[in-house]
Every structure is written in C-alpha cells, then in structure tokens.
Amino acid sequence: MKYLLYILALMLLLCLFKMPYGYYQFVRYLSFSVFAYLAYTTYTAKGNLTLIVWIYLFLAILFQPFVKIALGRNIWNIVDVAVAIGLIKLASRKSD
C-alpha cells in the first residue's frame, strides 16, 4: 500500500503538466479507489468515524469520476499538490 500511495502522489503531481484527458480520468478513478479503500480500512481498524476517515471520504468524493467537480485548473493544481504532499507524508509513516 505504501508504494501505491507514492505512485498516486507522483501521478497527482504529473497532473500539473498538460496531459491527455484520459490520464486525468484514470487519476480520478485511481484516487477515488484509493481514498475509498483508506476510509474503509481506517474505519474498520478504529471502529468509529475519526477525523481521518472523514478526510478520506471527502477526498474520495472530491476525486470521484462519476460527476465532474469543476474547480478550475488553478484550484485543481493546488489540490493535487496538497494531496500529493499528504500522501507522501502518510506513506513515509505508514508501515506495511
């Protein structure tokens, strides 16, 4: 899981560059899946809705690929960088 978090962080940072639209769609599907999985595993491990579970759920909804959330390219770039930094921090402290 640790390497998947690093890969997702790198993919989010690559979104800063001009990429084909299909790449952004793939990143949305992958992000949604990873954040939904993190929310589920964290919830089952802790047994209650902690703040981190809510954050994972929020990120899963934000990146979900079914209904596009139009934030504009500049705001999406900021979101991508902030989430990538968070994923790198999470992966560096997560022991798998």
76 within some domain: yes
pLDDT of residue 95: 58
Q: Could you tell me if residue 57 is inside a domain?
A: yes
Q: Which residue has the tokens 């960088």?
A: 81
Angle of the 21-46 helix axis to the 51-63 helix axis, nearest 10: 160
pTM, rounded to two decimals: 0.85
Cα gap 54→32, rounded to integer Å: 14
Residue 26 lies in a domain: yes
Domain-located, residue 39: yes
Count of structural domains, the chain: 1
Angle at 90 between CA 84 and CA 93, to 5 degrees: 140
Tens of pLDDT, residues 58-72: 999 999 989 888 888
Task: Give the range of the structural domain holding residue 58, as residue numbers without chain letter.
Answer: 2-91
In-domain check, residue 96: no
Per residue in 37-95, pLDDT tens?
Answer: 999 999 998 877 888 899 999 999 999 989 888 888 899 999 999 999 999 998 888 65
